[in-house]
Amino acid sequence: MPATPRECSIANALGVIGERWSLLALREVFFGARRFDQIVQNTGASRDILAARLRKLVDAGVLEKQQYEVHPPRYEYVLTESGRALQPVLLSLMEWGDKYVTEGEPPSVWEHSCGAVLEPRLDCTACGEPVKSGQLQALRLG
């Protein structure tokens, strides 16, 4: 009898954004590259693969296409509320890559509006304490 996979929001999220070119396209939009040619150039993705990933992100409501030129029609990609909510995910993924994957100095460093180098962290909304590995307890498992 085949195993039944656990229902999980992580798996559901990965179904939308869990592919290399999708995440790199989102990175570029966060960095301010909103036009298709800019995203292609900065990610290195092939045009057909990137077009498919962007279409999927638009269909999922993560990005919106906004027309910026009428003749010929041209569009740019803009983050939706759902897309903007992915910022801490991307920053955390970048921090993990800086620490455990990238050799040498990180290729990108972000500065917070206060002037300090940004170090993303996850805090408990109830007590304000940083969340650390081993401190989580599942209340419900699908």
β-sheet bridge partners, residue 79? 63
Angle between helices 36-43 and 20-31 (to 10 degrees): 120
Share of the chain above pLDDT 70, in %: 96
Residues 74 and 55 in one domain: yes
Per-residue pLDDT, 26: 97
Per-residue pLDDT, 104: 94
Per-residue pLDDT, 23: 96
Instruction: Give backbone dihedrals phi and psi of 74, rounded to 5 degrees, phi first.
Output: -135, 145
pLDDT in tens, 35-49: 999 999 999 999 999
Domain total of the chain? 2
Residue at a domain's end among 34, 63, 80? 80
Residues 102 and 45 in one domain: no
pLDDT in tens, 53-78: 999 999 999 999 999 999 999 999 99
Instruction: Tell the burial category of 114 from Cβ atoms under 10 Å away from its Cβ (0-12, 13-18, 19+).
Output: exposed
Residues 91 and 122 in one domain: yes
Mean of pLDDT values over 75-102 = 94
- What separation in angstroms does the CA of 121 have from each of 31, 84, 93, 105, 118? 20, 17, 11, 20, 9
Helix boundaries (H) for 85-135? 87-100
Mean of pLDDT values over 8-19 = 92
What's the gap between Cα 71 and its chain centre? Answer: 32
Q: Which domain holds residue 40?
A: 9-80
**pTM (predicted TM-score):** 0.85
Residues 19 and 57 in one domain: yes
